[in-house]
Every structure is written in C-alpha cells, then in structure tokens.
C-alpha cells in the first residue's frame, strides 16, 4: 500500500480523503493532516512525477548549479511511505462529479470522502508568430525545469518574456549561470502592480549590472529559426538573436475542471475561510484557490491554509487567518522584500534612500503603515516594519 | 561553534549566533532549543523543512 503507482487499484473499504496535486500545497496539507489523523485513507493524485521539491527553488537552480534531480527532495514512493498514503503519478483527473462524491480519471471513477483541489496555476501563453513557437518554454514545475535545462545546455543567449517577480528571479539566476539575458515585457517597470517604481528601478539596475538587457514596452512579435539559433523580432522592430526563450509572463489559477463541475470560480476556485468551495466536501488551497477573495500565489498563505484545512478535515472546523504577507524576492544582486498595501486601502508613498538601497513606505492618512518595498541594505528593516503592517485576513 | 540552518523551501537561513530577536528568539539560541511552533519568517514552513548548512 505504500507504493506509488500509476493506475488505480481496488477502492478501499473506507473512502479516502483525496488530494489532487503533489506540490507544496498538496504535500504540506497531507503532512499536517497526518499529524492529526493517522488512519483515514489518503490518496494523492499528480499529473507529474510526484517528486517532492520546492518550487521557489526552481529560480535559484542555475546559480547553485543544481539540475532537476538536485532540486528533488524525495521520490513519490518515499512520500507515500512517510504520509501513509497512496500516490498516483502521471495521472490526470478528467472530471469531478460532486453529486456522487467521486472524480474521474478517464473512465475510472474514484470515490472520495473529502476532495481537496491543490492543482495549482498554469502559465499564461502569449501569441507569437513565426516557425519557432515550440522553442518558447515555461518553467512552472520540476519537469519543466528539467526540459529547460536540457534545452539550455551549451547555449548562451536566453530571451526572457515577462518582467514580474518570477521573470526577475530567472533573469538574476540565468545571469549567474552564465547566460546573456534579454528581457522583454510590455510594461514600464519591473514587477508592475507589486512594486513601487523607485524600488523597481533599483532591482532593474541590479540585474543590468549582471549583464541582463531590458526591453520594456514592446512584446515579442515573432520568433523564427535561423541556421545558428533563433531570431526574435519585437513589436517595435528590434531584432534579437537568441538560442532559446523562457516564458514567465504570469500564472493563472487552474479553474476549468472545477467550473465544469459547477463549482463557483472567479479568478481562482472560490472558497471561504474554511477553504470550502461552493460544494459540500470539496475544498481548495494553494495557487488555485481564491480564499475569501484573495488569490495569493506564495508559500506563506499556502502554509496557513494547509494547517487550517488539516484541522477541518480531521473534524475540527477551522478558519484561516492571514497576518501580513510580505514577499521576499530572490534577486540576490539587489535583495528585495515587498508588502503591497491591501486592496481598497488608499495611502501615500514616501521614498528614502538612493542607488540600490531604497525604502519606500505607504501610509494611510492616520499615519498607519499599509505596505512597503525595501531593497538592498534596507531589507534588514523588514521584521520591525512587519509588526506595523495590517493583517490581510484578520 | 554556532551553526546555520537553511530553509529548503525558500532559502532563508537561521543563524544560531544571530537568533531571531524580533520573534523572541535570543542570539545564541541553539537550533534544538528553537520551539517546534516556530516557522520560517519568509515562507511559513516548519523546522522540519530546514537542513544544516554544510560549510
């Protein structure tokens, strides 16, 4: 019963708690649940190879010279044993039937006591003309990372699409790994929406000092194969020669199967503060979930949700609460911690510092701190400032 | 000699020499004396997701 297997076996006598997803959300929920309940059968289903790894570390692998195996922390068989669970790998669920408390893997029904959707978010794809669209690779999981590393072996020039948090982390990491990075994004600054422009300028300058080149404003219009590699052309006409393209334009919560099953979805799968969806016995957490209106694709809120949901599944209904949720961005060339002000809390920004050391603070009219962006040496102030920040879900 | 422990999820380092004074853990606090309820200040995972830094 501890083996990770790819095909469904006999339905257990007691219907299991079923978790779809073996990312940090699925595995941490399973681990927290097992601390409270060691008996209820547990089944995890993953579309990928089911290895345990930390997704945040994918954007540090080149700098640390770690390949996909080096980032893997445990095989699914070891996880199955540790969690006293069954784990189906390379298994894609194809439908949910809430009325009969079962899901479908192709023609195979799987009954559940409770179902937890922890299937994450998927890369947004942008349309690009030309004959080399298949050379545009996303990195959204460990297998993507393995594919990208294989494609990047022996290459020099990476065209990177996207200037958000993930794009900037990869720009830093690929530069450390010896690649010439050309970053293309249709925004005016890096991390728009997340970051104050003064802090964004500091991060961009840091990445430029590593040799990364920024093309902010245009999009990649076309990508074609040439004898030596690839030829990109931006919407402003600029040609960029490269060897491969990394797409990091953003992630969208996976909602399709949930919507098809009649669950309420908005940006993500809508759940309340007990992580309950609009249907009994179905829960969601992690990047796919919109918790009381908040879809936060970070580890910290996910861990809060895993602990609360484990309690609920073990028979003690528990609501999640979020304190401040500052985000540490892994751009070592210019350290950055950012805590954007909560929605619908207007405030005024003040900016101090210069060069790579920026301290941007957002306060409301009463002078209360709502958010901040700290770069360079200013990141040392984060813990003192965190104590003044408002909770996101009090 | 003080040791360092690395969060394998996000890369945060707990340094025994520095402790985590803002969270009530005094400088010099040994890893084994950090309460089990303590979580990574950057990503929220527990002590079991930390590993000893080899140096």
pTM for the model stands at 0.94
Tokens at A246, concatenated: 């990394």
What is residue A314's predicted lDDT score, i.e. its pLDDT?
Answer: 98
CB–CB contact B43 A330 (8 Å): no
What is residue A368's predicted lDDT score, i.e. its pLDDT?
Answer: 97
B chain contacts of residue A304, beta-carbon cutoff 8 Å: 44
CB–CB contact B9 A328 (8 Å): no
What is residue A324's predicted lDDT score, i.e. its pLDDT?
Answer: 94
CB–CB contact A383 B22 (8 Å): yes
Contact A86, A43 (CB under 8 A): yes
In tens, the pLDDT along A157-204 reads 999 999 999 999 999 999 999 999 999 999 999 999 999 999 999 999
Q: Report the percentage of chain A scoring pLDDT > 70.
A: 97
Contact A63, A173 (CB under 8 A): yes
What is residue A7's predicted lDDT score, i.e. its pLDDT?
Answer: 57
Facing residue for A300 by CB, picked from B11, B23, B43: B43
In tens, the pLDDT along A272-331 reads 999 999 999 999 999 999 999 999 999 999 999 999 999 999 999 999 999 999 999 999
Facing residue for B9 by CB, picked from A56, A383, A387: A56
Touching A: B residues 10-29, CB under 8 Å: 10-12, 22-23
Any chain B CB within 8 A of the CB of A60?
A: yes
B chain contacts of residue A73, beta-carbon cutoff 8 Å: 8
Residue of A nearest to B44 (CA): A300
In tens, the pLDDT along A258-270 reads 999 999 999 999 9
C-alpha A361 chain-centroid distance: 26
Q: Is the pLDDT of residue A11 over 60?
A: no
What is residue A147's predicted lDDT score, i.e. its pLDDT?
Answer: 97
A chain contacts of residue B45, beta-carbon cutoff 8 Å: 28, 299, 303
**Coil vs helix vs strand at A208:** helix
Q: Is the pLDDT of residue A5 over 70?
A: no
Q: Is the pLDDT of residue A1 over 80?
A: no
Q: Report the percentage of chain A scoring pLDDT > 90.
A: 94
CA B7 – CA A60 distance, rounded (Å): 13
Q: How many helices (DSSP H) and strands (DSSP E) are in chain A?
A: 9, 28
Counting beta carbons within 10 angstroms of the beta carbon of residue A378, is it exposed (0 to 12), middle (13 to 18) or buried (19 or more)?
A: buried
CA A259 – CA A187 distance, rounded (Å): 31
Tokens at A372, concatenated: 């901040």
Facing residue for B11 by CB, picked from A302, A330, A383: A330
The CA–CA distances, whole Å, from A9 to A30, A42, A44, A88, A346 equal 20, 14, 13, 10, 55
Name the band, by pLDDT with cuts 50, 70 and 90, for residue A15: very high
CA distance A330 to chain B (A): 9
Largest CA distance in chain B: 27
Residue whose entry in the numeric block shows the structure tokens 């929406």: A193
A chain contacts of residue B8, beta-carbon cutoff 8 Å: 54, 57, 73
Q: Which of A23, A328, A382 to substitute to test the interface with B, most B CBs within 10 Å? A: A328
What is residue B23's predicted lDDT score, i.e. its pLDDT?
Answer: 86
What angle is formed at CA A320 by the lines to CA A319 and CA A322, rounded to 5 degrees? 145
Range A104-121 average pLDDT: 98
What is residue A121's predicted lDDT score, i.e. its pLDDT?
Answer: 98
ipTM of the complex: 0.93
CB–CB contact A73 B8 (8 Å): yes
- Average per-residue pLDDT in chain A? 96
Give the number of residues written for chain B.
55
Q: Is the pLDDT of residue A69 over 80?
A: yes
What is residue B54's predicted lDDT score, i.e. its pLDDT?
Answer: 76
CA distance A288 to chain B (A): 18
What is residue A6's predicted lDDT score, i.e. its pLDDT?
Answer: 57
Any chain B CB within 8 A of the CB of A73?
A: yes
Name the band, by pLDDT with cuts 50, 70 and 90, for residue A228: confident
Any chain B CB within 8 A of the CB of A101?
A: no
Range B5-28 average pLDDT: 94
Show Cβ contacts of residue A125 under 8 Å, excluding neighbours closer than 6 positions: A138, A247, A249
Range A346-370 average pLDDT: 96
In tens, the pLDDT along A72-84 reads 999 999 999 999 9
What angle is formed at CA A51 by the lines to CA A45 and CA A53, rounded to 5 degrees? 120
In a 13 Å sphere around the CA of A189, the CA atoms on its Cβ side amount to 13
CA B22 – CA A266 distance, rounded (Å): 38
Tokens at A267, concatenated: 């940006």
């Amino acid at each position: 019963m501890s083996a990770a297997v790819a095909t469904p076996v006999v339905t257990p006598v007691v219907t299991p708690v079923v978790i779809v997803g073996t990312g940090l959300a699925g595995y941490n929920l399973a681990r927290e649940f097992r601390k409270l309940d060691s008996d209820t059968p547990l089944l995890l289903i993953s579309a990928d190879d089911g290895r345990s790894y930390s997704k945040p570390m994918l954007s540090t692998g080149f700098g640390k010279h770690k390949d996909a195996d080096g980032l893997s922390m445990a095989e699914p068989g070891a996880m199955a044993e540790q969690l006293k669970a069954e784990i189906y790998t390379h298994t894609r669920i194809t439908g949910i039937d809430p009325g009969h408390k079962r899901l479908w893997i192709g023609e195979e029904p799987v009954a559940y006591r409770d179902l937890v959707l922890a299937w994450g978010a998927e890369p947004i794809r942008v349309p690009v003309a030309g004959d080399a669209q298949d050379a545009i690779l996303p990195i959204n999981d460990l297998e993507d990372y393995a594919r990208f590393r294989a494609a990047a072996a022996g290459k020099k020039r990476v065209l990177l699409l996207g200037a958000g948090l993930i794009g900037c982390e990869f720009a830093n990491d690929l530069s450390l790994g010896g690649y010439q990075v050309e970053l293309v994004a249709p925004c005016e600054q890096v991390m728009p929406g997340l970051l104050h422009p003064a802090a964004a300028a500091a991060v961009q300058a840091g990445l430029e000092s590593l040799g990364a080149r920024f093309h902010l404003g245009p999009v990649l219009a076309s990508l074609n194969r040439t004898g030596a590699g690839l030829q990109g052309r931006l919407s402003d006409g600029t040609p960029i020669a490269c060897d491969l393209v990394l797409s990091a334009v953003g992630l969208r919560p996976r909602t399709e199967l949930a919507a098809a099953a009649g669950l309420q979805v908005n940006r993500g799968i809508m759940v309340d503060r007990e992580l309950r969806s609009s249907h009994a016995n179905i829960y969601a957490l992690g990047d796919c979930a919109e918790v009381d209106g908040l879809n936060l694709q970070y580890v910290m809120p996910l861990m809060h949700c895993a602990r609360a949901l484990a309690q609920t599944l073990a028979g003690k209904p528990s609501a999640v609460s979020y304190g401040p949720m500052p985000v540490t961005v892994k751009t070592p060339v210019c350290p950055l911690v950012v805590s954007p002000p909560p929605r619908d809390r207007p405030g005024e920004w003040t900016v101090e510092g210069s060069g790579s050391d920026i301290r941007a603070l957002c306060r409301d009219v009463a002078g209360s701190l709502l958010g901040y962006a700290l770069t360079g040496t200013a990141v040392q102030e984060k813990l003192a400032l965190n104590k003044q920040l408002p909770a996101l879900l009090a | 000699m003080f040791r360092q422990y690395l969060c394998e999820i996000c890369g945060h380092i707990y340094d025994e020499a520095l402790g985590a004074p803002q969270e009530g853990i005094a400088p010099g606090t040994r890893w084994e004396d950090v309460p089990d309820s303590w979580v990574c200040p950057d990503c929220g995972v527990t002590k079991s997701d930390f590993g000893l830094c080899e140096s």
